[in-house]
């Protein structure tokens, strides 16, 4: 639970949040996302249980350093979700995608409770909130991760080939 200035910050955000707003909880390398449904409650895709749970996918993932074998959509108090991170209202996709009416966003989020499934690149908490607010599955942080991979892998391969080539040229010069 937030303490001191963090609690004041969270209370300030809650006082401004409207039903259907997307809340972002920056947590270092990634952000956690939730749909605000009013009365200090959110709906979000989060880990269910602990590392000993038997998941239906057999895949293991972490959220905030806790290991899980499955995830589910839950309704919770924002105070259970905020933990030691700050929270902010982030409806930035509104600039590109028209949001649904607030009541439809909340209804969509609540209808997904109990759904199980998680994939960091294709079905994460930001994908979930985007689906609820816009009717479109989208995650900017997953897109950035994919783009980074798409750029990094060829660069590594080119670098490796370049290293091999320059090493071969150096050996040829030594022989001549």
- The length of the chain in residues reads 176
Q: Catalytic one among 64, 103, 125, 132?
A: 125
Beta strands in 6-132 (DSSP E): 22-27, 30-38, 41-47, 61-63, 66-68, 71-77, 88-89
Q: Catalytic one among 9, 32, 96, 127?
A: 32
Residue whose tokens read 């995650």? 139
DSSP state for residue 29 in the 8-state scheme: T
Cβ-based burial of 117 (10 A; exposed 0-12, middle 13-18, buried ≥19): middle
Residues sharing a CB contact under 8 Å with residue 34, sequence separation 6 or more, in sequence order? 22, 23, 25, 42, 43, 44, 78, 81, 125, 129
Q: Is 32 labeled as catalytic in the residue annotation? A: yes
Q: Is 125 labeled as catalytic in the residue annotation? A: yes
Q: What amino acid positions are annotated as catalytic residues?
A: 32, 44, 125
């Amino acid at each position: 639970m937030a303490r001191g200035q963090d609690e004041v910050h969270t209370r300030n955000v809650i006082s401004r949040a409207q039903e259907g707003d997307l809340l972002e909880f920056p947590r270092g390398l990634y952000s956690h996302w939730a749909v605000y449904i009013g009365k200090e409650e959110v709906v979000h895709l989060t880990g269910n249980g602990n590392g000993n749970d038997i998941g239906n996918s057999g895949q293991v993932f972490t959220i905030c350093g806790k290991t899980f074998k499955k995830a589910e959509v839950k309704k919770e108090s924002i105070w259970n979700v905020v933990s030691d991170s700050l929270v902010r209202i982030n409806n930035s996709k509104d600039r590109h995608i028209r949001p649904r009416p607030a009541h439809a966003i909340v209804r969509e989020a609540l209808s997904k409770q109990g759904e199980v499934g998680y994939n960091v690149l294709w079905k994460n908490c930001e994908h979930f909130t985007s689906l609820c607010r816009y009717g479109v599955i989208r995650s900017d942080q997953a897109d950035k991760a994919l783009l980074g991979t798409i750029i990094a892998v060829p660069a590594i391969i080119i670098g490796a080939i370049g290293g091999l080539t320059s090493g071969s040229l150096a050996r040829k010069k030594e022989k001549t």
